[in-house]
Amino acid sequence: MSSKRLLLACLAVFVLCLADGAAARKPARDSGDPRPDTVGTYDYYVMALSWSPTFCQTRGEDEDDQCGEKGYGFILHGLWPQYEKGGGPERCETRDSGPDRGTVAQTLAFMPSRRLINHEWRKHGACTGLGAEKYFQTADRAFAALHVPPELKAPRQDLQMNGDELRTALKRANPQLGDDMMSLHCSKGQLVEVRVCLDKDTRLRSCGKRMRNACPASRPFEIPAVR
């Protein structure tokens, strides 16, 4: 073998050794991690209900249709596909062009922000494999199935509640709703969001792992009035 060929052979062996070493150093995927993000591959939904007055206080009055003259209480933040082990698929590739004008117009009734509708489709809806129209029809059905307690439909004065009281009110309005089917989320002493777990037929079910509460159970927090 000529010296040139010998040199090339040594270089090839060296490169292969580097590649093997890099593969050995790459950590293996944790067997407890959720499954890879695949369209249509998920176990259940989390329906996130945003308390609109809190959002509008922090984001300003110019946020699309949501913070205009018509005051909203709970609005649908999103319907998120989830894994039992926690988390869920996001930003999946799809050939669906997204919600058309008719779908957006219908969805504004319970998700009153065009910006939010398009964001939720790109981030979560595309991963369901349902197509935009069916996804938002499913979201509409899910939102309509959960009954809002009378005291939270359109309060004209700020309310004070703690986590236990809010859970009790939600369960009173929805007798099949259990503590393990929802989580409450607060920030800076105010209610931000209620999240409820649903099966693929939008029926109430227990939540999977990594669902955390972020509202105090016994210390009061504020629920800003609808304005």
Catalytic-residue membership of 147: no
Mean pLDDT, residues 150-164: 96
| pLDDT, average across residues 163-192 | 97
Tell me the average pLDDT across 6-29: 42
Considering the domain boundaries, does residue 32 fall inside one?
Answer: no
Distance of CA 123 to CAs 34, 47, 70, 94, 194, Å? 17, 14, 27, 11, 19
Decide: 74 and 50 in contact? Cβ < 8 Å: yes
Assess whether 124 carries a catalytic annotation: yes
CATH code, 215: 3.90.730.10
- Is 185 catalytic? The answer is no
Position 5 in a domain: no
The count of structural domains within the chain is: 1
Element (H, E) at 163: helix 163-173
Catalytic residue among 63, 93, 120, 222: 120
pLDDT of residue 38 exceeding 80: no
pTM here?
0.81
Tell me if 86 is assigned to some domain: yes
Domain around 114: 44-223
Report pLDDT for 33.
39
27 within domain boundaries: no
Q: Does 6 fall in a domain?
A: no
Catalytic entry in 77, 93, 185, 222: 77
Checking if the pLDDT of 30 tops 50, the result is no
Q: Which one-letter DSSP state was computed for residue 80?
A: E
Tell me the C-alpha distance between 68 and 199, whole Å. Answer: 33
Q: Which one is catalytic: 124, 165, 185, 193?
A: 124
- Indicate whether 3 belongs to any domain: no
Mean pLDDT value across residues 146-173: 97
